[in-house]
Amino acid sequence: MKKKGPLYALFLSLLFILPGCSSLSVLNPKGPAARTLSDTIILSILVMAGVLAVVYILYIFVLVKYRAKKSNEGYIPEHEEGNKVLEAIWIIIPIIIVAFLSVVTVKSTHAVENVASEYKDQDPLVIYASSSNWKWHFSYPEEGIETVNYVNIPVHRAVEFRLYSFGTITSFWVPQLAGQKYAMSDMLTELNLSADTVGSYIGKNSNFSGKGFAHMEFETLVMTDKDYQDWVKEVKETAPALTEEEFKGLLAAEVLGRKTYSSTHLTFSPPPGDHSEHMSGNGSEMDMENGGTEHEDNKEIHPSPEPSSQTEFDSVPNPEVDEPLPSSPVEETTN
Protein backbone atom coordinates (compact mmCIF):
# COMPACT_ATOMS: atom_id res chain seq x y z
CA MET A 1 0.00 0.00 0.00
CA LYS A 2 2.31 2.66 -1.29
CA LYS A 3 0.06 5.63 -1.09
CA LYS A 4 -0.60 5.80 2.65
CA GLY A 5 2.66 7.60 3.34
CA PRO A 6 2.00 10.47 0.92
CA LEU A 7 -1.56 10.71 2.17
CA TYR A 8 -0.36 11.11 5.70
CA ALA A 9 2.19 13.70 4.62
CA LEU A 10 -0.52 15.55 2.75
CA PHE A 11 -2.75 15.59 5.81
CA LEU A 12 0.02 16.89 8.05
CA SER A 13 1.11 19.58 5.64
CA LEU A 14 -2.47 20.72 5.15
CA LEU A 15 -2.80 20.79 8.88
CA PHE A 16 -0.02 23.33 9.17
CA ILE A 17 -1.32 25.42 6.31
CA LEU A 18 -4.79 25.52 7.83
CA PRO A 19 -4.48 28.25 10.47
CA GLY A 20 -2.80 30.60 8.02
CA CYS A 21 -5.35 30.07 5.33
CA SER A 22 -7.72 32.98 5.41
CA SER A 23 -10.27 31.50 3.04
CA LEU A 24 -11.21 28.95 5.69
CA SER A 25 -13.69 31.29 7.31
CA VAL A 26 -14.37 28.98 10.23
CA LEU A 27 -10.71 29.18 11.23
CA ASN A 28 -10.54 32.92 10.61
CA PRO A 29 -12.75 34.23 13.43
CA LYS A 30 -13.61 37.87 14.02
CA GLY A 31 -15.33 37.58 17.37
CA PRO A 32 -14.92 35.82 20.72
CA ALA A 33 -17.50 33.06 20.13
CA ALA A 34 -16.08 32.08 16.77
CA ARG A 35 -12.58 32.30 18.21
CA THR A 36 -13.44 29.86 21.00
CA LEU A 37 -14.79 27.46 18.38
CA SER A 38 -11.80 27.92 16.11
CA ASP A 39 -9.41 27.19 18.98
CA THR A 40 -11.43 24.14 19.91
CA ILE A 41 -11.34 22.87 16.34
CA ILE A 42 -7.59 23.38 15.96
CA LEU A 43 -6.94 21.68 19.28
CA SER A 44 -9.07 18.71 18.26
CA ILE A 45 -7.29 18.49 14.89
CA LEU A 46 -3.93 18.32 16.65
CA VAL A 47 -5.07 15.62 19.08
CA MET A 48 -6.64 13.62 16.27
CA ALA A 49 -3.51 13.99 14.14
CA GLY A 50 -1.65 12.31 16.99
CA VAL A 51 -4.10 9.41 16.96
CA LEU A 52 -3.77 9.12 13.19
CA ALA A 53 0.01 9.15 13.44
CA VAL A 54 0.02 6.20 15.86
CA VAL A 55 -2.33 4.15 13.69
CA TYR A 56 -0.48 4.98 10.46
CA ILE A 57 2.95 4.17 11.84
CA LEU A 58 1.78 0.81 13.19
CA TYR A 59 -0.02 0.13 9.94
CA ILE A 60 2.93 0.81 7.68
CA PHE A 61 5.20 -1.17 10.00
CA VAL A 62 3.10 -4.36 9.99
CA LEU A 63 2.39 -4.20 6.27
CA VAL A 64 6.04 -3.83 5.38
CA LYS A 65 7.34 -6.34 7.85
CA TYR A 66 4.81 -9.14 7.56
CA ARG A 67 3.89 -9.15 3.90
CA ALA A 68 4.14 -12.47 2.09
CA LYS A 69 7.51 -12.81 0.36
CA LYS A 70 9.80 -15.56 -0.77
CA SER A 71 11.71 -15.68 2.50
CA ASN A 72 8.64 -16.53 4.57
CA GLU A 73 7.06 -18.99 2.18
CA GLY A 74 5.46 -21.91 3.93
CA TYR A 75 5.42 -19.99 7.20
CA ILE A 76 2.22 -20.65 9.08
CA PRO A 77 1.72 -18.08 11.82
CA GLU A 78 1.02 -19.34 15.29
CA HIS A 79 -2.30 -19.10 17.04
CA GLU A 80 -2.40 -15.91 19.07
CA GLU A 81 -5.26 -15.24 21.52
CA GLY A 82 -4.66 -11.60 22.30
CA ASN A 83 -2.94 -9.79 25.08
CA LYS A 84 -4.71 -8.33 28.09
CA VAL A 85 -2.10 -5.65 28.76
CA LEU A 86 -1.94 -4.42 25.18
CA GLU A 87 -5.70 -4.40 24.84
CA ALA A 88 -6.02 -2.51 28.10
CA ILE A 89 -3.62 0.10 26.73
CA TRP A 90 -5.71 0.76 23.66
CA ILE A 91 -8.81 1.00 25.78
CA ILE A 92 -7.43 3.27 28.46
CA ILE A 93 -5.55 5.76 26.28
CA PRO A 94 -8.59 6.50 24.09
CA ILE A 95 -10.68 6.90 27.23
CA ILE A 96 -8.21 9.50 28.47
CA ILE A 97 -8.33 11.31 25.13
CA VAL A 98 -12.13 11.26 25.09
CA ALA A 99 -12.25 12.49 28.67
CA PHE A 100 -9.93 15.35 27.81
CA LEU A 101 -11.96 16.32 24.75
CA SER A 102 -15.16 16.05 26.80
CA VAL A 103 -13.87 18.64 29.22
CA VAL A 104 -12.89 20.90 26.33
CA THR A 105 -16.32 20.40 24.75
CA VAL A 106 -18.31 21.16 27.87
CA LYS A 107 -16.25 24.27 28.60
CA SER A 108 -16.38 25.64 25.08
CA THR A 109 -20.06 24.83 24.67
CA HIS A 110 -20.78 26.67 27.89
CA ALA A 111 -18.66 29.60 26.71
CA VAL A 112 -20.40 30.05 23.38
CA GLU A 113 -23.87 29.51 24.79
CA ASN A 114 -23.40 32.55 27.00
CA VAL A 115 -22.30 36.13 26.50
CA ALA A 116 -18.54 36.21 25.88
CA SER A 117 -16.62 36.99 29.06
CA GLU A 118 -15.21 40.27 27.65
CA TYR A 119 -18.72 41.59 27.19
CA LYS A 120 -20.33 40.11 30.31
CA ASP A 121 -21.09 43.44 31.95
CA GLN A 122 -22.86 44.89 28.92
CA ASP A 123 -26.54 44.95 28.26
CA PRO A 124 -26.76 42.92 25.08
CA LEU A 125 -28.33 44.35 21.97
CA VAL A 126 -31.35 42.19 21.16
CA ILE A 127 -32.10 41.41 17.53
CA TYR A 128 -34.85 39.07 16.45
CA ALA A 129 -33.82 37.14 13.33
CA SER A 130 -36.60 35.27 11.65
CA SER A 131 -36.68 33.39 8.38
CA SER A 132 -39.47 33.09 5.89
CA ASN A 133 -39.20 31.23 2.61
CA TRP A 134 -35.63 32.06 1.60
CA LYS A 135 -34.97 35.35 3.30
CA TRP A 136 -34.13 36.75 6.72
CA HIS A 137 -35.96 39.44 8.71
CA PHE A 138 -34.03 41.29 11.38
CA SER A 139 -36.05 43.20 13.97
CA TYR A 140 -34.39 45.58 16.41
CA PRO A 141 -36.98 46.06 19.18
CA GLU A 142 -34.78 48.58 21.04
CA GLU A 143 -34.36 50.81 18.04
CA GLY A 144 -37.75 50.06 16.53
CA ILE A 145 -36.35 49.29 13.12
CA GLU A 146 -36.33 46.25 10.87
CA THR A 147 -34.21 45.08 7.94
CA VAL A 148 -34.46 42.28 5.43
CA ASN A 149 -31.47 40.25 4.28
CA TYR A 150 -28.83 42.35 6.00
CA VAL A 151 -28.00 43.06 9.59
CA ASN A 152 -25.83 45.85 10.99
CA ILE A 153 -24.31 45.48 14.43
CA PRO A 154 -21.96 47.65 16.47
CA VAL A 155 -18.43 46.37 17.08
CA HIS A 156 -17.39 45.34 20.62
CA ARG A 157 -20.95 44.87 21.70
CA ALA A 158 -22.70 41.76 22.94
CA VAL A 159 -25.54 40.94 20.57
CA GLU A 160 -28.27 38.48 21.38
CA PHE A 161 -30.02 37.03 18.38
CA ARG A 162 -33.40 35.48 19.03
CA LEU A 163 -34.18 33.12 16.23
CA TYR A 164 -37.42 31.77 14.87
CA SER A 165 -38.97 30.85 11.57
CA PHE A 166 -42.15 31.52 9.68
CA GLY A 167 -41.86 28.17 7.94
CA THR A 168 -39.29 25.42 7.61
CA ILE A 169 -36.44 24.89 10.03
CA THR A 170 -33.52 27.10 9.09
CA SER A 171 -30.14 27.56 10.68
CA PHE A 172 -28.69 30.99 11.33
CA TRP A 173 -24.96 31.06 10.73
CA VAL A 174 -22.30 33.72 10.46
CA PRO A 175 -19.20 31.49 10.32
CA GLN A 176 -16.69 34.19 11.22
CA LEU A 177 -18.67 35.46 14.21
CA ALA A 178 -20.37 32.46 15.83
CA GLY A 179 -21.54 28.90 15.34
CA GLN A 180 -24.98 28.31 13.96
CA LYS A 181 -28.31 27.76 15.66
CA TYR A 182 -31.65 26.53 14.36
CA ALA A 183 -34.59 28.84 13.80
CA MET A 184 -37.89 27.01 14.22
CA SER A 185 -41.51 28.00 14.03
CA ASP A 186 -42.68 26.95 17.46
CA MET A 187 -39.87 28.06 19.72
CA LEU A 188 -37.33 30.78 20.15
CA THR A 189 -33.65 29.90 20.14
CA GLU A 190 -30.94 32.22 21.29
CA LEU A 191 -27.52 32.92 19.81
CA ASN A 192 -24.92 35.10 21.50
CA LEU A 193 -22.56 36.84 19.20
CA SER A 194 -20.13 39.68 19.28
CA ALA A 195 -17.62 41.03 16.81
CA ASP A 196 -14.31 42.67 17.58
CA THR A 197 -13.31 43.72 14.06
CA VAL A 198 -15.19 46.12 11.83
CA GLY A 199 -16.04 44.53 8.50
CA SER A 200 -18.56 42.72 6.38
CA TYR A 201 -19.18 39.03 7.03
CA ILE A 202 -21.30 36.62 5.15
CA GLY A 203 -24.18 34.98 6.95
CA LYS A 204 -26.43 32.24 5.67
CA ASN A 205 -29.02 29.66 6.37
CA SER A 206 -27.17 26.38 6.61
CA ASN A 207 -30.13 24.05 7.01
CA PHE A 208 -31.70 22.85 3.78
CA SER A 209 -35.07 24.54 3.38
CA GLY A 210 -36.21 23.92 -0.17
CA LYS A 211 -35.93 25.46 -3.58
CA GLY A 212 -34.33 28.83 -2.86
CA PHE A 213 -32.04 27.53 -0.11
CA ALA A 214 -28.81 28.20 -1.99
CA HIS A 215 -29.64 31.90 -2.24
CA MET A 216 -30.51 32.43 1.41
CA GLU A 217 -27.55 34.57 2.37
CA PHE A 218 -27.31 37.87 4.19
CA GLU A 219 -24.61 40.38 4.97
CA THR A 220 -23.53 41.05 8.52
CA LEU A 221 -21.95 44.48 8.67
CA VAL A 222 -19.99 45.21 11.81
CA MET A 223 -19.70 48.99 12.29
CA THR A 224 -18.21 51.33 14.85
CA ASP A 225 -20.61 52.42 17.52
CA LYS A 226 -20.92 55.88 16.00
CA ASP A 227 -21.61 54.56 12.50
CA TYR A 228 -24.20 52.29 13.98
CA GLN A 229 -25.97 55.10 15.81
CA ASP A 230 -25.91 57.20 12.65
CA TRP A 231 -27.32 54.34 10.63
CA VAL A 232 -30.15 53.76 13.11
CA LYS A 233 -30.96 57.43 13.12
CA GLU A 234 -30.99 57.58 9.37
CA VAL A 235 -33.24 54.56 9.13
CA LYS A 236 -35.69 56.04 11.59
CA GLU A 237 -35.82 59.25 9.65
CA THR A 238 -35.91 58.00 6.10
CA ALA A 239 -37.22 54.42 5.99
CA PRO A 240 -40.95 53.70 5.72
CA ALA A 241 -42.82 52.04 8.56
CA LEU A 242 -43.51 48.32 8.31
CA THR A 243 -47.25 47.82 8.09
CA GLU A 244 -48.97 44.49 8.57
CA GLU A 245 -49.99 44.55 4.94
CA GLU A 246 -46.44 45.18 3.79
CA PHE A 247 -45.13 42.45 6.07
CA LYS A 248 -47.56 39.89 4.64
CA GLY A 249 -46.20 40.80 1.24
CA LEU A 250 -42.65 40.25 2.46
CA LEU A 251 -43.53 36.83 3.88
CA ALA A 252 -45.16 35.77 0.66
CA ALA A 253 -42.19 36.73 -1.52
CA GLU A 254 -39.76 33.92 -2.26
CA VAL A 255 -36.42 35.67 -2.51
CA LEU A 256 -35.96 39.38 -1.86
CA GLY A 257 -33.24 41.97 -1.98
CA ARG A 258 -32.49 44.26 0.95
CA LYS A 259 -35.26 46.19 2.66
CA THR A 260 -35.27 48.66 5.52
CA TYR A 261 -38.15 49.78 7.75
CA SER A 262 -38.60 52.18 10.63
CA SER A 263 -40.77 49.85 12.70
CA THR A 264 -40.81 46.11 13.45
CA HIS A 265 -43.21 43.30 12.78
CA LEU A 266 -42.95 42.17 16.41
CA THR A 267 -45.80 44.46 17.40
CA PHE A 268 -48.42 42.85 15.21
CA SER A 269 -46.86 39.40 14.69
CA PRO A 270 -45.16 38.44 17.94
CA PRO A 271 -42.49 35.72 18.10
CA PRO A 272 -43.22 32.29 19.55
CA GLY A 273 -42.79 31.62 23.23
CA ASP A 274 -39.40 30.76 24.57
CA HIS A 275 -38.77 27.14 25.44
CA SER A 276 -35.13 27.40 26.24
CA GLU A 277 -35.79 28.07 29.93
CA HIS A 278 -37.29 24.76 30.77
CA MET A 279 -34.90 23.01 28.42
CA SER A 280 -31.59 24.23 29.71
CA GLY A 281 -32.20 26.56 32.60
CA ASN A 282 -29.78 29.14 31.25
CA GLY A 283 -32.22 31.47 29.62
CA SER A 284 -33.62 33.07 32.74
CA GLU A 285 -31.55 36.24 32.55
CA MET A 286 -33.08 37.30 29.28
CA ASP A 287 -36.38 38.54 30.60
CA MET A 288 -35.24 41.99 31.56
CA GLU A 289 -34.28 43.05 28.09
CA ASN A 290 -36.21 45.22 25.77
CA GLY A 291 -38.78 43.30 23.94
CA GLY A 292 -38.98 41.09 26.96
CA THR A 293 -42.35 42.51 27.83
CA GLU A 294 -44.01 41.21 24.73
CA HIS A 295 -42.11 38.05 25.09
CA GLU A 296 -43.35 37.62 28.66
CA ASP A 297 -46.94 38.08 27.54
CA ASN A 298 -46.55 35.62 24.77
CA LYS A 299 -45.39 32.92 27.03
CA GLU A 300 -48.83 32.60 28.54
CA ILE A 301 -50.74 32.16 25.36
CA HIS A 302 -48.04 30.61 23.20
CA PRO A 303 -48.94 32.35 20.01
CA SER A 304 -47.16 31.11 16.97
CA PRO A 305 -46.34 33.07 13.85
CA GLU A 306 -48.44 30.52 12.06
CA PRO A 307 -51.30 32.73 10.81
CA SER A 308 -48.93 34.79 8.75
CA SER A 309 -47.24 31.72 7.40
CA GLN A 310 -50.55 30.46 6.15
CA THR A 311 -51.06 33.58 4.12
CA GLU A 312 -47.56 33.18 2.81
CA PHE A 313 -48.46 30.01 1.07
CA ASP A 314 -51.77 31.11 -0.19
CA SER A 315 -49.91 32.94 -2.89
CA VAL A 316 -47.75 29.98 -3.89
CA PRO A 317 -49.38 28.15 -6.76
CA ASN A 318 -49.36 24.44 -6.24
CA PRO A 319 -51.38 22.95 -9.03
CA GLU A 320 -50.28 19.41 -8.25
CA VAL A 321 -52.29 19.01 -5.11
CA ASP A 322 -55.99 18.82 -5.18
CA GLU A 323 -56.44 17.84 -1.58
CA PRO A 324 -56.95 20.74 0.77
CA LEU A 325 -53.95 21.65 2.87
CA PRO A 326 -54.18 20.42 6.44
CA SER A 327 -55.06 23.90 7.45
CA SER A 328 -55.88 25.50 10.73
CA PRO A 329 -58.36 28.27 11.35
CA VAL A 330 -56.43 30.93 9.52
CA GLU A 331 -57.98 34.17 10.49
CA GLU A 332 -57.76 33.98 14.25
CA THR A 333 -54.94 36.47 13.73
CA THR A 334 -53.03 38.40 16.32
CA ASN A 335 -54.85 40.24 19.03
Partner 1 sequence: MDLDKFKVHGEPLIYGAMVSIALATIGILVGLTYFKKWGYLWREWLTTVDHKKIGVMYILAALLMLFRGGVDAMMMRLQTAAPEMKFLDAQHYNEVFTTHGLIMILFMAMPFIIGLMNVIIPLQIGARDVAFPRLNAVSFWLFFMGAMLLNISFVIGGSPDAGWSAYFPLASLEFSPTVGNNYYSLALQISGIGTLITGVNFIVTILKMRAPGMTLMKMPMFTWSVLITNVIIVFAFPVLTVALALMMFDRLFGSQFFTMANGGMDMLWANLFWVWGHPEVYIVILPAFGIYSEIIATFSKKNLYGYTSMVFSMVIISLLSFLVWAHHFYTMGQGVMVNSFFSITTMAIAVPTGVKIFNWLFTLRKGRITFTTPMLYTLAFIPIFTIGGVTGVMLAMASADYQYHNTMFLVAHFHYVLIPGAVFAVIAGFHYWFPKVFGFRLNERLGKHAFWWIIISFNVTFFPLFFLGLMGMTRRMYTYSEESGFGPLNMLSFAGAVGLAIGFVILVYNIYWSTRYMPRDTTSDPWDGRTLEWATPSPIPAYNFAIVPNVKTRDAFWAAKQDNVPLFEDKITKIHLPNNTGKPFILGVIFFFLGFFLVFSMWIPAIVAGVGVIIMLAAMSFDRDHGFYVPAEEVIATEKKLRGETV
Residues 49-78 that bind partner 1 (CB under 8 A): 51-52, 55-56, 58-59, 62-63, 65-68, 72, 75-78
**Cβ-based nearer residue to partner 1, 45 or 239:** 45
User: Do residues 144 and 262 lie in contact, with contact meaning Cβ atoms separated by under 8 Å?
Assistant: yes
Q: Binding marks (x or -) toward partner 1, 192..211, rule CB under 8 A?
A: ----------x-xxxxxxxx
Per-position b or e across 238-257, b if 16+ CB within 10 A of its CB = ebeebeeeebbebbbbeebe
Return the closest-CA partner of residue 204 out of 215, 195, 212: 215
Report, in Å, the least distance between residue 86 CB and partner 1: 7
**Cβ-based nearer residue to partner 1, 27 or 232:** 27
Exposed (0-12), middle (13-18) or buried (19+): which is 64, by Cβ within 10 Å? exposed
Report, in Å, the least distance between residue 224 CB and partner 1: 25
User: Do residues 170 and 201 lie in contact, with contact meaning Cβ atoms separated by under 8 Å?
Assistant: no
- Judged by CB under 8 A, which stretch of 23-31, 122-130, 151-159, 236-244 contacts partner 1? 23-31
Q: Is the CA virtual torsion 101, 106, 108, 109 positive or negative?
A: positive
Report, in Å, the least distance between residue 326 CB and partner 1: 4
Considering only 121, 237, 281, 331, the residue that binds partner 1 (CB under 8 A) is 281
Cβ-defined contacts of 13-18 (< 8 Å, 24+): 15/45, 15/46, 15/49, 18/42, 18/45
Backbone angles phi, psi at 172, to 5 degrees: -85, 125
**Cβ-based nearer residue to partner 1, 26 or 241:** 26
By CB under 8 A, the residues from 100 to 139 that bind partner 1 are: 101-102, 104-106, 108-113
- Judged by CB under 8 A, which stretch of 36-44, 136-144, 149-157, 286-294 contacts partner 1? 36-44
**Cβ-based nearer residue to partner 1, 86 or 288:** 86
Considering only 35, 135, 157, 181, the residue that binds partner 1 (CB under 8 A) is 181
By CB under 8 A, the residues from 224 to 263 that bind partner 1 are: none
- Judged by CB under 8 A, which stretch of 119-127, 143-151, 238-246, 273-281 contacts partner 1? 273-281
Helix (H, G, I), strand (E, B) or coil at 223: strand
**Cβ-based nearer residue to partner 1, 83 or 238:** 83
Does 306 bind partner 1 (CB under 8 A)? Our answer is yes
d(CA 75, CA 2): 24
Considering only 123, 213, 227, 252, the residue that binds partner 1 (CB under 8 A) is 213
Per-position b or e across 91-104, b if 16+ CB within 10 A of its CB = eeeeeeeeeeeeee
Report, in Å, the least distance between residue 240 CB and partner 1: 29
Considering only 126, 148, 151, 184, the residue that binds partner 1 (CB under 8 A) is 184
User: Do residues 271 and 302 lie in contact, with contact meaning Cβ atoms separated by under 8 Å?
Assistant: no
